């Protein structure tokens, strides 16, 4: 083992000489001035210089130490106290020479002669460079496996990667991802074409200098050709590249060449982010410190890190794709902007969840100028929840057309949910998630100035009155949708004055607001535009991760135009049919209804009033409503509903409702607490465009 030596005092020179030649670890003897007397290290590069350049010189004059002040303090402490030191780590490399730093585990003991005089320090130096490198690599890999992929977001995953590898594996780390992958699209197969754009998704510098990068994070552009980056994305093989100012390929990418020059990067590892032969992106690792080098072990580690990250990015991409599809499906299943109505002004707020939820809302017209309000959600995530909510919304429309009361409608909707759950459970792979949900369904009646509400596992509505007071309705709530058994659904009717605001919402609104009373505080200013109220609620939401949709539906009742409705009491005699037709005829003339529609309306009035006189019970009334459609309603006190019949040729009656069904656009029977109402709707022709006189 090579060594340099100086003359050693005392009679132990022969023993020390044998020790230096036979020891398996590095040995260093220093005098009381910390000058080197004799040295033998397992790294010959550290003492290959001639003896006169090493022996007799201070250790800090011969070597660059990782912490020279601490090392000198440790050695002087051993000289002064005689207390040995064990296992201190120290980085060493030759003075003023380029090259890597070697790491030693240092143990020091004081040397004394027979008279107890101190004449030096014996230092044992165990080379632990490779062990430490392996340990660092293990820590980097463990950090990547623990911290990378905690979110289902491509960009966040890339940021987690650069934080995990800097500074232990790289002084600078850059992650670039195929732009289409960030949007959730399928990654291209290798080799990656030179025209494919990559987005710089993450950058990290150990010194915190974010200005030295070639392009800012978020920049999208293809990689210049030919470079190690493009070669790695062509054959999916890593590259270990030494960087120098005259490196020829730097001319193909001047911005990157300038960033490399400014940062002082000396070494580069490029590793592909790839899954099943498809290219997701590129990982670039740079070393700037002269003391740090890359070897094959670092390249292998970079490949393992890239492979783990690529799987996480692909999972995030798949989630992004499914989330995008779910949002698209949900957007198409939700109603467009609510159409203006004569009796209710509406506005809504919809904030989709970050995991893709199944929330929904709707407003639609019912017979008698009434308006239905619906807010609900299907518990779950992704496209299945969105599609199921769309199915439930369609079922509500179909059930509402039967003029069911809100509580009865929710009971039938619950049956539908149970049927859908059975169908899903019968699929070949089954369905791991039970089909459950919640719903709030309300019907506003402008003539009675009431709102009838039924709940299925849903938070109760909030009403803001015109005087600025607010209240949460104390209503009975039935079980969530999809529940078998449980208490029956119940409906409650509350008075709602014109100018009030009725708010239906999902439970996520309360959980992500500043406080549970946020909605009431905002609605206290109920006279403001509804969309402004929705925006105020939105601005007060916390930026938390939302596992379900935030939905708010606001409705402000307003009076029905008095000139657009006419009501007459009916007697219970056959001659009252003619009287009813006469009332209707004169009213239609005042409304300027065209002759064809007026004639059809008279026939409908005749048939409905005839049925009420024959089969109904007094008191009865006729009502005409001119809104988006022309509605004829006949109310009587008999709760027995008429039935549509197909009369035979010899039958003298039984054709009334059949005729009404042929003449009207829609018809139905609405049961009330004091009887029933039979109604029929006709579409009205659009108003004629104004005529313009043309001058000659």
The residue among 94, 74, 91 whose CA lies nearest residue 30 is 74
280 and 423, same domain (yes or no): no
Centre a 10 Å sphere on the Cβ of residue 285 and count the other Cβ atoms it contains. Answer: 28
Q: Does the residue 688 lie in any domain?
A: no
Whether 257 and 274 have beta carbons less than 8 Å apart is answered as: no
Which residue range(s) make up the domain with 675?
Answer: 563-683
Confidence of residue 373 (pLDDT cuts 50, 70, 90): very high
Q: Which of 76, 109, 127 is the last residue of a domain?
A: 127
* Residues paired with 631 in a beta bridge: 625, 681
Start-to-end CA span in the chain (Å) = 118
Predicted local distance difference test score (pLDDT) of residue 42: 65
Predicted local distance difference test score (pLDDT) of residue 408: 94
Report the half-sphere exposure of 425 (CA within 13 A, side-chain side): 10
Instruction: Give the pair of three-digit tokens for residue 661.
Output: 């069904």
Whether 155 and 141 have beta carbons less than 8 Å apart is answered as: no
317 and 191, same domain (yes or no): yes
Give the range with max mean pLDDT: 17-31, 344-358, 414-428, 435-449.
435-449
C-alpha pair distances (Å), 201 with each of 152, 154, 349, 637: 15, 8, 32, 71
Predicted local distance difference test score (pLDDT) of residue 20: 62
537 and 594, same domain (yes or no): no
Q: Does the residue 696 lie in any domain?
A: no
Predicted local distance difference test score (pLDDT) of residue 694: 47
Helix (H) or strand (E) holding 481: none
Predicted local distance difference test score (pLDDT) of residue 1: 37
Predicted local distance difference test score (pLDDT) of residue 311: 94
280 and 317, same domain (yes or no): yes
Instruction: Give the pair of three-digit tokens for residue 590.
Output: 């005042």
User: Residue 611 above 50 pLDDT?
Assistant: yes
Per residue in 301-354, pLDDT tens? 999 999 999 999 999 898 888 777 766 766 666 666 666 678 899 999 988 876
pTM exceeds 0.75 for this model: no
Predicted local distance difference test score (pLDDT) of residue 98: 65
Instruction: Name the DSSP letter for residue 83.
Output: -
Is the bond into 585 cis (omega within 30 degrees of 0)?
no
| Mean predicted lDDT score pLDDT of the chain | 84
The residue among 661, 610, 619, 664 whose CA lies nearest residue 638 is 619
Q: Which of 527, 557, 587 is the last residue of a domain?
A: 557
355 and 464, same domain (yes or no): yes
503 and 617, same domain (yes or no): no
Instruction: Give the pair of three-digit tokens for residue 441.
Output: 């369904």
d(CA 197, CA 568): 73
Predicted local distance difference test score (pLDDT) of residue 78: 87
User: Residue 259 above 70 pLDDT?
Assistant: yes
d(CA 576, CA 99): 112
Q: How many domains does the chain have?
A: 4
Centre a 10 Å sphere on the Cβ of residue 542 and count the other Cβ atoms it contains. Answer: 10
318 and 384, same domain (yes or no): no
User: Residue 691 above 50 pLDDT?
Assistant: yes
Q: Does the residue 689 lie in any domain?
A: no
Mean pLDDT of 426-455: 82
Confidence of residue 71 (pLDDT cuts 50, 70, 90): confident
Mean pLDDT of 662-672: 88
Mean pLDDT of 516-533: 90
Q: Does the residue 695 lie in any domain?
A: no
Confidence of residue 495 (pLDDT cuts 50, 70, 90): very high
d(CA 475, CA 80): 85
193 and 295, same domain (yes or no): yes
Mean pLDDT of 675-682: 91
447 and 574, same domain (yes or no): no
Whether 628 and 365 have beta carbons less than 8 Å apart is answered as: yes
Task: Kindly state the percentage of the chain with pLDDT values over 90.
Answer: 35
Taken in order 285, 290, 296, 301, the sign of the CA dihedral is negative
d(CA 623, CA 369): 12
Confidence of residue 375 (pLDDT cuts 50, 70, 90): very high
Taken in order 250, 253, 257, 260, the sign of the CA dihedral is negative
Q: Does the residue 11 lie in any domain?
A: yes
8 and 78, same domain (yes or no): yes
d(CA 630, CA 684): 7
Q: Does the residue 72 lie in any domain?
A: yes
Give 384 or 631, the one with higher predicted confidence.
631
The residue among 538, 532, 467, 484 whose CA lies nearest residue 509 is 538
d(CA 693, CA 47): 109
Predicted local distance difference test score (pLDDT) of residue 7: 44
Q: What is the CATH number of the domain that holds 595?
A: 3.30.565.10
123 and 138, same domain (yes or no): no
Confidence of residue 529 (pLDDT cuts 50, 70, 90): very high
Q: What is the CATH number of the domain that holds 118?
A: 3.30.450.20
User: Residue 220 above 70 pLDDT?
Assistant: yes
Instruction: Give the pair of three-digit tokens for residue 273.
Output: 């982010």
The residue among 184, 142, 185, 84 whose CA lies nearest residue 308 is 142
User: Residue 651 above 50 pLDDT?
Assistant: no
Give 290 or 152, the one with higher predicted confidence.
152
Least confident of 30-34, 194-198, 347-351, 414-418: 30-34
Q: Give the three-class secondary structure for 234.
A: helix
150 and 90, same domain (yes or no): no
Mean pLDDT of 28-54: 72
Give the range with max mean pLDDT: 92-106, 111-125, 203-217, 270-284.
270-284
Q: Are strands 450-456 and 491-495 parallel, antiparallel or unpaired?
A: antiparallel
Q: Does the residue 352 lie in any domain?
A: yes
User: Residue 129 above 80 pLDDT?
Assistant: no
CB-neighbour burial class of residue 636 (10 A; exposed 0-12, middle 13-18, buried 19+) = buried
d(CA 55, CA 45): 16
Q: What is the CATH number of the domain that holds 293?
A: 3.30.450.40
Predicted local distance difference test score (pLDDT) of residue 546: 65
d(CA 312, CA 200): 17
Predicted local distance difference test score (pLDDT) of residue 6: 45
Confidence of residue 625 (pLDDT cuts 50, 70, 90): very high
Q: Give the three-class secondary structure for 326.
A: helix
User: Residue 4 above 80 pLDDT?
Assistant: no
Confidence of residue 650 (pLDDT cuts 50, 70, 90): very low
């Amino acid at each position: 083992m090579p060594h340099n030596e100086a003359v050693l005092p005392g009679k132990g020179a022969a023993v020390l000489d044998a020790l230096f030649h036979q020891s398996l670890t590095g040995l260093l003897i220093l005098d009381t001035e910390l000058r080197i007397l004799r040295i033998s290290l397992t790294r010959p590069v550290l003492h290959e210089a001639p003896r006169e350049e090493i022996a007799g010189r201070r250790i800090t004059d011969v070597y660059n130490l990782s912490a020279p002040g601490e090392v000198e303090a440790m050695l002087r402490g051993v000289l002064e106290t005689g207390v040995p030191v064990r296992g201190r780590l120290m980085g060493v490399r030759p003075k003023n020479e380029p090259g890597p730093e070697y790491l030693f585990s240092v143990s020091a003991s004081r040397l004394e002669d027979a008279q107890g005089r101190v004449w030096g320090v014996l230092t044992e130096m165990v080379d632990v460079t490779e062990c430490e490198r392996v340990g660092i690599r293990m820590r980097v890999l463990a950090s990547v496996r623990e911290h990378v992929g905690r979110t289902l977001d491509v960009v966040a995953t890339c940021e987690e990667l650069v934080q995990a590898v800097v500074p232990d594996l790289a002084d600078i780390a850059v992650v670039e991802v195929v732009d289409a992958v960030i949007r959730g699209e399928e990654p291209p197969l290798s080799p990656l074409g030179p025209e494919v754009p990559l987005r710089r998704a993450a950058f990290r510098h150990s010194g915190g200098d974010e200005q030295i990068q070639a392009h800012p994070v978020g920049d999208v552009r293809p990689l210049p050709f030919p470079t190690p980056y493009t070669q790695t994305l062509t054959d999916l093989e890593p590259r270990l590249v030494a960087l120098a100012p005259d490196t020829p390929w730097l001319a193909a990418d001047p911005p990157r060449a300038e960033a490399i020059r400014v940062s002082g990067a000396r070494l580069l590892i490029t590793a592909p982010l790839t899954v099943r032969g498809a290219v997701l992106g590129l990982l670039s690792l740079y070393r700037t410190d002269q003391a740090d080098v890359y070897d094959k072990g670092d390249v292998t580690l970079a490949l393992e890190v890239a492979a783990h990250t690529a799987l996480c990015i692909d999972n995030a991409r798949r989630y992004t794709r499914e989330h995008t599809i779910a949002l698209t499906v949900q957007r198409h299943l939700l109603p467009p902007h609510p159409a203006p109505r004569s009796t209710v002004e509406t506005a809504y707020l919809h904030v989709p969840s970050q995991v893709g939820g199944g929330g929904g809302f709707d407003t639609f017209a019912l017979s008698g100028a009434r308006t239905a309000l619906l807010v609900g959600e299907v518990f779950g995530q992704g496209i299945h929840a969105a599609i199921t909510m769309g199915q439930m919304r369609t079922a509500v429309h179909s059930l509402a057309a039967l003029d069911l009361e809100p509580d009865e409608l929710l009971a039938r909707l619950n049956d539908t949910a149970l049927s859908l759950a059975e169908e899903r459970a019968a699929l070949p792979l089954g369905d791991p998630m039970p089909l459950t949900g919640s719903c709030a369904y309300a019907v506003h009646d402008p003539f009675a100035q009431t709102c009838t509400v039924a709940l299925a596992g849903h938070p109760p509505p909030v009403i803001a009155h015109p005087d600025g007071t607010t209240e949460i309705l104390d209503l009975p709530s039935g079980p969530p949708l999809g529940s078998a058994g449980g208490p029956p659904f119940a409906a409650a009717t509350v008075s709602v004055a014109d100018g009030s605001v009725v708010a239906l919402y999902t439970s996520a609104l309360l959980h992500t607001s500043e406080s549970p009373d946020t909605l009431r505080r905002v609605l206290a200013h109920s006279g403001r535009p509804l969309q402004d109220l929705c925006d105020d609620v939105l601005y007060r939401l916390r930026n938390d991760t939302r596992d379900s949709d935030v939905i708010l539906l606001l409705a402000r009742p307003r009076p029905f135009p008095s000139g657009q409705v006419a009501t007459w009491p009916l007697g219970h005699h056959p001659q009252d049919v003619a009287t009813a037709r006469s009332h209707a005829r004169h009213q239609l003339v005042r409304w300027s209804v065209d002759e064809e529609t007026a004639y059809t309306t008279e026939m409908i009035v005749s048939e409905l009033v005839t049925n009420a006189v024959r089969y109904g019970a007094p008191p009865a009334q006729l009502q005409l409503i001119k809104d988006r459609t022309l509605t004829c309603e006949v109310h009587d006190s008999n709760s027995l509903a008429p039935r549509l019949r197909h009369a035979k040729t010899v039958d003298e009656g039984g054709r009334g409702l059949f005729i009404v069904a042929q003449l009207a656009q829609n018809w139905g029977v609405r049961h009330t607490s004091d009887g029933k109402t039979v109604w029929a709707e006709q579409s009205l022709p659009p108003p004629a465009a104004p005529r313009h006189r043309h001058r000659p």
